[in-house]
Structure 1
Amino acid sequence: MPLPGSEPPYRRIAAEIRRRIDLGELRPGDAVPSARRITREHGVAIATATKVLALLRAEGLVLTRPGAGTVVAPDPAAPPRARRGAERPEPELSRERVVRTAIALADAGGLPAVSMRQIAAELDVATMSLYRHVRGRDELILTMADVALADAPLPAVQPAGWRARLELLARAQWSTYRRHRWLPHVISIARPQMLPQGMAHTEWALRATAGLGLDRQLRWHAAITLIAYVRGIATNLEMRAQAEQDTGLTDEQWVDRQVATFQQIIVSGGYSTMAALTAEGDVELDLDSVFEFGLRRLLDGYAALIEPRPPGAEPAVSPGR
C-alpha cells in the first residue's frame, strides 16, 4: 500500500513509459513493455501492471494490435498529409469507416482501447474530423454494438418449434459475443438501448413463443431471461482473453499451476465436498461447457411451462404469481 500522499505504483510506472514516449525513445508502432515484463522489472503484481497499460490506453498513448501486443499509438497531432506524404490524397472519411475502425480497436484491446484520438490515429485524420460522423464516444459505442449484431443477422425464417427458435437465438448471440468480447459489456438488460439490431433479437425471442397460449408476462420474461443468460456468461470472455494476454497462460495452464494451492486451501478450509469431488478426477469445465449446460437446463425449464400438460394439470402461470 502506498504511503499517504505518495503516487500509486501503477501511475509511477505509467509516467515512466509516458516519458519514454514523449522523448521519442518509444516511437509510434514500437512495442511497450508487456504486463509480464512490467511485473518482472518493477516487482509489482500482474493486476498493477495491467492497470499501467489500461491507463496508457485511456490516455490514447498506446493501443493493442493483434499479433503485436500493446504498441505506441500514432501521433494524431502530426499533420495527416505530412505523415502520408504529399503525393497521397487524404482518405475519404465516413461513418462506416469510423465505426469499423472502432470495432477493430475494441476487438483487439477491449473498450478501453477505443478513444476518438486512437481512431483518428488509425485513420490518419484529425481527431475533430470524427465528430462530423459521430457525436461522441457514447454514441459511437452504441453504434458499434448495433453494427456487430448486424454482421451476424438471424435467419429470415424461424425454424419449427419454440425450443429450436430460442436455441438458435442463444447460439447466435454466443457466437457474436465470442467474436466481439467487448459487446456484452455494452448491452444493458435493465435499461435497453435504442439498438435496432438488438430489438430484432428481442422480437425473434418473442415470436418464438407465439401461438402457444402463454400470457404476455411469461413470454416477455422467457425472452429477456434467455438474452440475459447468454450475456451474463459472455461477460467472462474478455476477462479470460485479457488474462491470457497478460500472463501468457491459457486457462488450463493457469489452473495446472494453481492446483497445489487450491488443494491446500480446500483441505485446510474444510471444504469436504469439493475435496471429495476433486479426488474423483478432473472435470472438463470451461466457459463453453458452462454455456452449453446452462442453455440446456434453461430450455428444459421453459419446457416445463410451455409443453402440453396432462389433463387436469395446472396451466402455465406468469412469473411472480
Structure 2
Amino acid sequence: MVAESGTPSERIAAELRRRIVAGELAPGARVPSTRRITQEWGVAMATATKVLNRLREEGLVRAVPGVGTVVVGGSVAGATVAGGTAAGANVVEAKGSGGGAVAPGAREVSGASGVRRARGGGERDLTRARIVAAAVQVADAEGLAALSMRRVATDLGVATMSLYRHVPGKDELLRLMMDVAFGEQPLPESPASGWREGLETVARLQWRIYRRHPWLASTMSFTRPVLAPDAALHTERSMAALAGLGLSWDEMAQAAVALAAFVCGLAVHFEREAQAEQDSGLSADEWMDHLGTEDHDRLMSDPERFPMFDAMSRGPEIDLSLEALFEFGMARMLDGIETVIARRGAAGS
C-alpha cells in the first residue's frame, strides 16, 4: 500500500522501495516498467520516469539492456550478484573477470561466475548514527552531488538496501544530517543579556556551522522547513531574545527567520566556492587575478556606462569577501530591527 504523504512520484517510489526492502522484489527481479507504473497507479509517463530515476539514484535498481530495470543484487546477464545473505556477511555486487576495483574493507571471493565483493561484520554494527555520520563525511569532503545512499553504503561496507532498515530514504537522511550539523555546535546555555547580542550570537553560530559544512545551506528551506529540532532551537532562541520588547508574534518570528535566511543565503556560496576552486584549481583571489586587468578594464571601466565602477576602481581596494558581506549585512539587519523596536516603544509610551 502506498503512503499518503508526498508527491505521486515520492509515494510510488516509497511503495516500490518498501517491496524491495521487504524482499517482495528480490535481487535481480524486474521492477514495474514506466508503462506498468502508469497503468497501475494512473499517473503520467513523466511521473513514472521520476519514480525509476529516484530509485536508480538511491542505488536500489539499475537498468539492464534487453532486460529492463531490475533490483540491484541479483543474477542478471551472467553476472552473479547476491545481496544480504547470512547475518554478519554480505555480498554486495559481483563483477566478471574485468570488474572494477573492490571498495575499501571489501574481501574478494573467487567463484565460477567471477569475483564477488564480500564484506563481513558491517551489517551487525550498522546504526542510524553511523549512517548519518558517514553521509556527513561524504558531503563535507565532496559536496552533496557526491552523496547517495549507494555511496554511503559503499563507505560503510554494507549493501545499499541495509540502509533503508534505519533511514527511509535520502530525504530523511538529509534531514538527519542537518540536525546533526546544528547539534554538534550547540547554542550557549545562558542566553545573552541583550536582544542585539542574543541575535548576533545566533547568527554567528549559524555562520560557523555553514562554514564547517558548506553543503548545509543549500539544504535549508524557509518556505518548506523540515522538522530538525536542533535547527529549530536557533529560531526559538532568536524569538526569545526579542520577547518583551513590544513586538508582535509576527514581528518576532519574521525578524528571527529573516536574519537566519540572510545568513543562509550568503552561506550558500561556501559550497559554490569550494566546487569552483576544485574545478578550476584557483582560489577566489587567484581567479580574480586570472581575469586580467585588460579584460576587466574593457568590460567594466566605461565611465559613461559604469560611472560608479570607474570611480571605485580609482580608489582603495574594496573588500567584498563573504566575511565582509556577512558582517555588514548582519549589522544592518540588526539596525533595522532596532528601529522597529524603538518605534514600538515610542508608540507604547
TM-score, with normalisation over the residues of structure 1? 0.70
Q: Aligned partner of 1:277: which letter?
A: M
1:281 and 2:312 aligned: no
Shift of residue 218, structure 1, vs aligned partner:
1.2
Quick one: distance in 1 between partners of 2:209 and 2:266? 13
Contact 2:182 2:231 in 1 (8 A): yes
Quick one: distance in 2 between partners of 1:286 and 1:82? 42
Shift of residue 82, structure 1, vs aligned partner:
8.7
Contact 1:76 1:120 in 2 (8 A): no
Select 1:83's aligned residue among 86, 93, 106: 106
Structure-2 change in CA distance of 1:296 and 1:80 (3 Å): closer
1:220 and 2:253 aligned: yes
Quick one: distance in 2 between partners of 1:252 and 1:80? 37
Contact 2:131 2:152 in 1 (8 A): yes
Contact 1:80 1:90 in 2 (8 A): no
Name the structure 2 match of 1:257.
Answer: 290
Structure-2 change in CA distance of 1:81 and 1:301 (3 Å): closer
Q: What's the % identity of the aligned pairs?
A: 42
Structure 2 gaps of 5+ residues are 1-56, 60-90, 95-101, 110-117
Select 1:198's aligned residue among 231, 250, 273: 231
Select 2:328's aligned residue among 278, 293, 296: 293
Name the structure 1 match of 2:222.
Answer: 189
Q: Aligned partner of 1:94: which letter?
A: T
SS at match of 2:93: coil
Shift of residue 217, structure 1, vs aligned partner:
1.6
Shift of residue 266, structure 1, vs aligned partner:
1.2
For residues 272-314 of structure 1, the C-alpha deviation after alignment (integer angstroms, 9 at most, x for no partner) is: 111111111311220011001111111111111224888xx54
TM-score, with normalisation over the residues of structure 2? 0.65
Name the structure 2 match of 1:31.
Answer: none
For residues 156-195 of structure 1, the C-alpha deviation after alignment (integer angstroms, 9 at most, x for no partner) is: 2101000000000000000000011111111110111111
Structure-2 change in CA distance of 1:88 and 1:237 (3 Å): closer
Quick one: distance in 1 between partners of 2:169 and 2:341? 45
1:270 and 2:301 aligned: no
Identify, as 1 or 2, the structure richer in helix.
1
Identify, as 1 or 2, the structure richer in strand.
2
Quick one: distance in 1 between partners of 2:333 and 2:159? 49
Select 1:102's aligned residue among 135, 139, 143: 135
Select 1:149's aligned residue among 182, 197, 203: 182
Structure-2 change in CA distance of 1:239 and 1:303 (3 Å): same
Structure-2 change in CA distance of 1:81 and 1:289 (3 Å): closer
Structure-2 change in CA distance of 1:216 and 1:59 (3 Å): closer
Contact 2:245 2:341 in 1 (8 A): yes
Name the structure 2 match of 1:134.
Answer: 167
RMSD: 2.7
Q: Aligned partner of 1:126: which letter?
A: A
Structure 1 gaps of 5+ residues are 1-57, 61-74, 317-321
Which of structures 1 and 2 has the larger relative contact order (alpha carbons within 8 angstroms, sep 6+)?
1
SS at match of 1:155: coil
Quick one: distance in 2 between partners of 1:225 and 1:163? 15
Shift of residue 76, structure 1, vs aligned partner:
5.1
Quick one: distance in 1 between partners of 2:58 and 2:180? 26
Structure-2 change in CA distance of 1:109 and 1:82 (3 Å): closer
Quick one: distance in 2 between partners of 1:208 and 1:307? 15
Select 2:275's aligned residue among 216, 221, 242: 242
Q: Aligned partner of 1:263: which letter?
A: D
